[in-house]
């Protein structure tokens, strides 16, 4: 594996390792039944692959905390 794909794999493993670490050390807040809406997730100076990896980390974190990620978006201009 070379280049970006390798870096994304490393970041994915890093994310899983850190979620496991948080869980093992009681650092996860129980969020059972909560719906998570993330708007304005910064893309500044991130490659598309890095952004997806970070999104994956937070999705994994909230899933492990038993919450549902409804939206994870870079968009911050909400029209209600």
pLDDT digits (tens, 9 = 90+) for 16-74: 677 888 888 888 889 999 999 999 888 888 888 888 888 888 888 899 899 999 999 98
Q: Confirm if 72 and 38 have CB atoms less than 8 A apart.
A: yes
Considering Cα of 57, then 58, then 59, then 65, what sign does the dihedral take? positive
* Structure confidence at residue 76 as a pLDDT band (50, 70, 90): confident
Can you give the residue ranges of every domain in the chain?
3-73
pLDDT of residue 70: 95
For residue 1, is pLDDT > 50? no
pLDDT of residue 62: 92
> Model-level pTM?
0.70
14 vs 6 pLDDT, higher one: 14
Considering Cα of 38, then 40, then 44, then 48, what sign does the dihedral take? positive
Q: Confirm if 41 and 73 have CB atoms less than 8 A apart.
A: yes
Q: Residue 62's CB: how many other CB atoms inside 10 A?
A: 21
The beta-strand segments (E) located in the chain are: 35-39, 68-73
């Amino acid at each position: 594996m070379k280049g970006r794909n390798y870096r994304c794999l490393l970041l994915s493993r890093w994310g899983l390792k850190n979620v496991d670490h948080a869980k093992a050390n009681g650092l996860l807040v129980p969020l059972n039944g909560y719906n998570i809406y993330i708007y304005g997730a910064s893309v500044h100076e991130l490659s598309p692959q890095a952004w997806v990896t970070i999104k994956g980390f937070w999705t994994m974190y909230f899933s492990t905390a038993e919450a549902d990620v409804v939206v994870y978006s870079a968009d911050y201009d909400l029209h209600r």
